[in-house]
């Protein structure tokens, strides 16, 4: 039973890491200190590469969905080569109706959750968006506890309360903070309605990705679906969604020639598209980290996205985070540390008993 529990937790971490290649190899936690340190280093570097790619693309004023085209195209090609030519996996298999339903749920919430992150960045500063997105850890815990009828523990209850308070400080609703608003360095108030739209999209992102993690866990454990096959389906569907979005945008809405030149045929798009390719490297580093590090430690280190977002936003951008927003981010980060640390301690105690 203990081995099964550890396997399930490792699966959750794999899904979080958005692995690119070699995902189907067995995962072994490294016993050496040097390898454990390398796992932490890989995780932090992976977080930094993903965060900086999103930040730089936004600072270049390039539509993020446009910048992701090279990333998803190359990622899909890599996964096709790996799954079909190297591993010789079947890209399609006959499945039960229940498995097909879970697969649809997985792809729908995974794709919409991922794209809602980039869409919410139109309305929110990166630190606020990243903070709301990482409440996913808490939502996943709540959904899992409901599905498996687990009794809530004190650390989980405290973590949920800290997350709720933290998100409230980040959101800063007007009925609670009438005299406080997110302001830029030049003290220009942000549009509260747009801020609220961004918060709603970011919250959906966190919940949708939580549902994706839970459904993926079911597909991998119950139906023995190959993780790389799931990743290929996700990247391929995401690429199709972007292409459909672009076709609709440039065929029905904008002037085709002028818009294409403005959005794609310039040095800014070339830079943004190139730097978004770092997300593939980020995925590969995450995979290496998962193979070397404990899932709870991986989750803690991965939440460094919040810290990187705060640093990049406040050092290189004219828009600064106010005190309440920073305090809210710290509370959410604390809740992630609490719940991950609690799981780590419980697993160590169970190991010692066995």
Q: Which two tokens stand for residue 341?
A: 């640390």
3-state secondary structure of 189: strand
Euclidean distance between CA atoms 138 and 141, whole angstroms: 5
Q: List alpha helices for 172-316, DSSP H.
A: 192-222, 227-248, 256-263, 267-276, 278-292, 295-302, 304-316
Helix 295-302 with 33-59: angle, nearest 10 deg = 30
DSSP string of 70-97, one letter each residue: HHHHHHHHHHHIIIIIIS---S-----H
CB atoms < 10 A from the CB of 63, how many? 18
Q: Quick check: 286 and 47 in contact, CB under 8 A? A: no
Structural domain for 226, as ranges: 2-353
* pLDDT (tens place) for every residue of the chain, 354 residues total: 444 555 444 445 444 444 333 444 444 444 455 555 677 888 889 999 999 999 999 899 888 888 999 999 999 999 889 887 887 776 556 667 888 899 999 999 999 999 999 999 989 888 999 999 988 888 888 888 888 777 778 888 888 888 889 888 887 776 667 655 444 433 434 577 888 899 999 999 999 999 998 888 888 888 888 878 888 889 999 999 999 988 887 777 655 556 677 778 789 999 999 999 999 999 888 877 767 776 667 777 888 899 999 999 899 888 888 888 899 999 998 988 888 888 778 777 777 777
* Helical axes 295-302 vs 278-292, angle rounded to 10°: 150
- If phi > 0 it is left, if psi is from -120 to 50 it is alpha, else beta; for residue 124 that is beta
3-state SS assignment for residue 247: helix
Residue 279: count of CB within 10 angstroms of its CB: 19
User: Count of CB atoms within 10 A of residue 248's CB?
Assistant: 10
* The pair of three-digit structure tokens given for residue 138, joined into one six-digit string: 């808490």
Residue found under tokens 């996205």: 305
* Model pTM score: 0.80
| Alpha-carbon gap, residue 307 to 127, rounded angstroms | 8
Contacts 24+ apart (CB under 8 A), 115-120: 115/65, 115/238, 115/241, 116/201, 116/202, 116/204, 116/205, 116/208, 117/202, 117/205, 118/54, 118/64, 118/65, 118/68, 119/65, 119/201, 120/198, 120/199, 120/201, 120/202, 120/205
- Residue 13's H or E segment, with its range, is helix 2-17
The total domain count for the chain is: 1
Residue pointed to by tokens 């959906």: 204
| Closest listed residue to residue 282, CA positions, set 44, 26, 10 | 44
């Amino acid at each position: 039973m203990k081995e099964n529990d550890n396997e399930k937790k490792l699966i959750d971490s794999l899904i979080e890491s958005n692995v690119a290649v070699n995902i189907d190899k067995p995962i072994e936690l490294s016993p050496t200190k040097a390898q454990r340190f390398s796992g932490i280093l890989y995780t932090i570097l992976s977080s930094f590469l993903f965060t900086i790619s999103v930040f730089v693309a936004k600072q270049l004023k390039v539509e993020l969905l446009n910048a992701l085209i090279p990333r998803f195209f190359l990622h899909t090609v890599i996964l096709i080569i790996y799954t079909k030519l190297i591993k010789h996996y079947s890209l399609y298999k006959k499945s039960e109706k229940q498995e097909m339903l879970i697969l649809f749920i997985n792809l729908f919430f995974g794709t919409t959750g991922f794209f809602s992150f980039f869409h919410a960045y139109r309305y929110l500063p990166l630190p606020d968006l990243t903070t709301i997105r990482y409440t996913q850890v808490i939502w996943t815990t709540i959904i899992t506890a409901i599905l498996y009828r687990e009794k809530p523990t004190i650390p989980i209850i405290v973590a949920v309360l800290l997350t709720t308070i933290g998100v409230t400080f980040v959101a800063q609703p007007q009925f609670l903070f009438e005299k406080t608003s997110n302001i830029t360095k030049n003290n220009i108030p942000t549009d509260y309605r747009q801020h609220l739209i961004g918060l709603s999209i970011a919250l959906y992102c966190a919940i949708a990705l939580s549902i994706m993690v839970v459904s993926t866990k079911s597909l991998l454990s119950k139906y023995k679906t190959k993780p790389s096959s799931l990743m290929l389906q996700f990247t391929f569907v995401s690429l199709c969604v972007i292409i459909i979005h672009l076709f609709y945008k440039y065929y029905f809405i904008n002037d085709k020639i002028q818009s294409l030149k403005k959005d794609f045929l310039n040095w800014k798009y070339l830079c943004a598209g190139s730097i978004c390719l770092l997300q593939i490297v980020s995925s590969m580093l995450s995979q290496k980290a998962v193979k070397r590090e404990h899932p709870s430690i991986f989750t803690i280190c991965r939440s460094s996205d919040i810290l990187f977002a705060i640093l990049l936003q406040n050092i290189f951008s004219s828009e600064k985070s106010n005190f309440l927003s920073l305090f809210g981010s710290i509370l959410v980060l604390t809740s992630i540390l609490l719940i991950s640390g609690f799981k780590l301690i419980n697993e160590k105690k169970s190991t010692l008993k066995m």
